[in-house]
Amino acid sequence: MRTLDTSRFQDADKYAAYLETPPGRLRSELSWENLRRFLPLTPSKGRALDLGGGTGFASVQLARMGFQVVMLDSSEEMIGTARQQAEASSTTTRISFHRAEADRLPELFEAGSFDVVICHNLLEYLEDPIPIVHHVAHVLRGDGVLSLLVRNRAGEVLKAAIKSGDWKLAAANLSAETVTDSLFGQPVRVFSLNDVRAMLAGAGLTAAAEHGVRVFSDYVDLSGLASETYRQLFELELTLGAQPEFAAIARYIQVVARPDKPSRRETGP
């Protein structure tokens, strides 16, 4: 599996530091809250896969709920940071860590192995994300749930126009396949909601919910936020991201999806 940008995987400390900033926290915490209400009611009996799990935020949240979690990432540095997060949260007994590329999913796991699959901020780093979505559908149980988070092309248009004032770049981003990542300065893939719907449909998955993540917070000063102010910001972003007219311009697209025909899909033990 070829990637567009490998620098994210080689600098776990830089990426972890970003996730501690208000924008990083919002991305992680909003996407988690959007998914949480779709999770099984008996997580202690469930298995979850955190695909491209990075520094382990989602893995830790799932483990805290009682899931047995497999975190898979291609970077030893990321896995090391995720292990530290698991140790700090006393969740190491519920998380197993695997260093592997996402295209090895069919080799590593049987069909229907997982009740929950999280695939956040991975597809934008791949030259061809479509096969990975098919692999995810293969390892997902017939009644399972997938959370997919990708960069929104429309959000990149607004970012270029509002933050940089580069209107030529904003116009180009309307049809761009990739944009330049501001953290590492490398190309990353962008998607429209129709792109995501088509990928899911091609893999036999249907959206149960669609959200935008970070609608307006990229365009305001977030330095020195008090905890109560952050909570107000979070709640407003959560509300706006659930409304299609605002979600359409968010920085990220999140789709929670399920298999089309659960009764016809294989299930694991």
What does the buried/exposed string (b/e) look like for 12-43 if buried means 16 or more CB atoms within 10 Å of the residue's CB? Answer: beebbebeeebebbbbbbbbbbbbeeebbeeb
pLDDT, residue 45, reads 81
Q: Does any domain span residue 268?
A: no
pLDDT, residue 27, reads 97
Higher pLDDT, 184 or 209: 209
Q: In the chain, what percentage of residues exceed pLDDT 90?
A: 86
Dist CA 184 CA 190 (whole Å): 16
| Of 7-11, 152-156, 192-196, 226-230, the least confident | 7-11
pLDDT, residue 2, reads 64
Q: Does any domain span residue 267?
A: no
pLDDT, residue 73, reads 96
pLDDT, residue 264, reads 41
Instruction: Give the helix/strand (H/E) hosting 62.
Output: helix 57-65
| Region of residue 90 (left: phi > 0; alpha: psi -120 to 50; beta: else) | left
What does the buried/exposed string (b/e) look like for 112-138 if buried means 16 or more CB atoms within 10 Å of the residue's CB? Answer: bbbbbbbbbbbbbbbeebeebbebbbb
- What average pLDDT does the segment 51-56 reach? 96
Domain count, the chain: 1
- What average pLDDT does the segment 183-210 reach? 96
Dist CA 248 CA 211 (whole Å): 9
pTM of the full structure: 0.93
pLDDT, residue 7, reads 52
Q: Does any domain span residue 266?
A: no
| Region of residue 250 (left: phi > 0; alpha: psi -120 to 50; beta: else) | beta
| Of 49-53, 133-137, 183-187, 189-193, the least confident | 183-187
Dist CA 219 CA 244 (whole Å): 19
Domain CATH code at residue 247: 3.40.50.150
**Distance (Å) of CA 114 to CA 17, 33, 40, 143:** 30, 20, 12, 10
Domain of residue 37: give its range. 7-259
Q: Does any domain span residue 174?
A: yes
Q: Does any domain span residue 108?
A: yes
pLDDT at 98 exceeding the cut of 70: yes
Q: pLDDT per residue over 110-126, tens digit each?
A: 999 999 999 999 999 99
pLDDT, residue 184, reads 86
Bridge-based pairing of strands 95-99 and 68-73 is parallel
pLDDT at 144 exceeding the cut of 50: yes
Q: Angle at CA 147, nearest 5°, toward 141 and 152?
A: 145
